[in-house]
């Protein structure tokens, strides 16, 4: 069995000197979001965790919400670069659609698990901030488009009569599941049973492949 290509989160290069303090503040805020809710994070907390000062914070940001907006812009840039690499069809040459779907879902599960606090803050902000909502929708759409393109490129492996529609639905299903867990069920399902990343990846992969009409135990030739 051929090993699936390694998927990695991409951070575009920055100008080190001009971005150093800014990135420390952003990184500190993200770390704190892994520990507590955004409304419980103070400017002094961010500055202290960054090894900086409150004055340095306000020299760059009007307030805490302005930092969250910049943090979101950085995340979007990273996510777009990562999605472009993941969606590169050449990366998946020689792999079955089932193998590619499992690798992509596993990567998405990993990202949501590693950055759950950050993503929760972003998703909660979309509820009342139209700009955040629109940018998040564009980001999700870009991710879905890459997944759809991969599925369409393997349409001969798909039993569903409309592969493009099926791929769009499957990708949205994964997105909705992961976002709901970020917001509500970080450590278990509604009954309290634990769900680790491996289990979630397995079940989401099975759900997607079954809907697409792809069965790993009897793969079709491309």
Q: What pLDDT does 2 receive?
A: 56
pLDDT band at 5 (very low <50, low <70, confident <90, very high): low
Can you give the chain as a three-state secondary structure string? CCCCCCCCCCCCCCCHHHHHHHHHHHHHHHHHHCCCCHHHCCHHHHHHHCCCCHHHHHHHCCCHHHHHHHHHHHHHHHHHHHHHHHCCHHHHCCCCHHHHHHHHHHHHHHHHHHCHHHHHHHHHHHCCCHHHHHHHHHHHHHHHHHHHHHHHHCHHHCCCCCHHHHHHHHHHHHHHHHHHHHHCCCCECCCCCECCHHHHHHHHHHHHHHHHCCCCCCCCCC
Q: Which of 92-96, 111-115, 189-193 has the lowest mean pLDDT?
A: 189-193
Q: What pLDDT does 217 receive?
A: 47
Segment 147-162, tens digit of pLDDT: 999 999 988 899 999 9
For the cut 60, the answer to whether the pLDDT of residue 16 exceeds it is: no
Average pLDDT for residues 12-40, to the nearest whole number?
82
For the cut 80, the answer to whether the pLDDT of residue 188 exceeds it is: no
Q: What pLDDT does 89 receive?
A: 87
For the cut 60, the answer to whether the pLDDT of residue 222 exceeds it is: no
Q: Which domains does the chain have, with CATH numbers?
A: 14-61 (1.10.10), 64-212 (1.10.357.10)
Segment 41-78, tens digit of pLDDT: 999 999 999 999 999 999 899 999 999 999 999 999 99
Average pLDDT for residues 173-195, to the nearest whole number?
76
pLDDT band at 9 (very low <50, low <70, confident <90, very high): low
Average model confidence (pLDDT) across the chain: 86
pLDDT band at 119 (very low <50, low <70, confident <90, very high): very high
For the cut 80, the answer to whether the pLDDT of residue 187 exceeds it is: no
Q: What pLDDT does 94 receive?
A: 85
For the cut 80, the answer to whether the pLDDT of residue 189 exceeds it is: no
């Amino acid at each position: 069995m051929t090993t699936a290509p390694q998927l990695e989160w991409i951070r575009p290069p920055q100008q080190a000197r001009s971005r150093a303090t800014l990135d420390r503040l952003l990184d500190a805020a993200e770390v704190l979001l892994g520990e507590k809710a955004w409304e419980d994070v103070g400017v002094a907390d961010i500055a202290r965790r960054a090894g900086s000062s409150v004055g340095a914070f306000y020299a760059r940001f009007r307030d805490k919400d302005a930092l969250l907006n910049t943090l979101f812009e950085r995340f979007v840039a990273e996510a777009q670069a990562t999605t472009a690499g993941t969606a590169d069809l050449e990366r998946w040459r020689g792999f079955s659609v089932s193998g590619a779907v499992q690798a992509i879902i596993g990567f998405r599960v990993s990202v949501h698990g590693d950055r759950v606090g950050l993503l929760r803050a972003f998703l909660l902000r979309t509820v009342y901030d139209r700009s955040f909502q629109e940018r998040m929708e564009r980001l999700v759409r870009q991710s879905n488009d890459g997944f759809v393109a991969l599925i369409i490129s393997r349409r001969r492996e798909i039993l569903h009569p409309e592969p493009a529609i099926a791929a769009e639905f499957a990708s949205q299903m994964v997105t909705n599941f992961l976002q709901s867990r970020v917001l509500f069920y970080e450590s278990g399902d509604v009954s309290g049973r634990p769900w680790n990343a491996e289990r979630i990846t397995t079940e989401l992969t099975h759900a997607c492949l079954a809907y697409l009409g792809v069965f790993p135990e009897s793969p079709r030739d491309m």
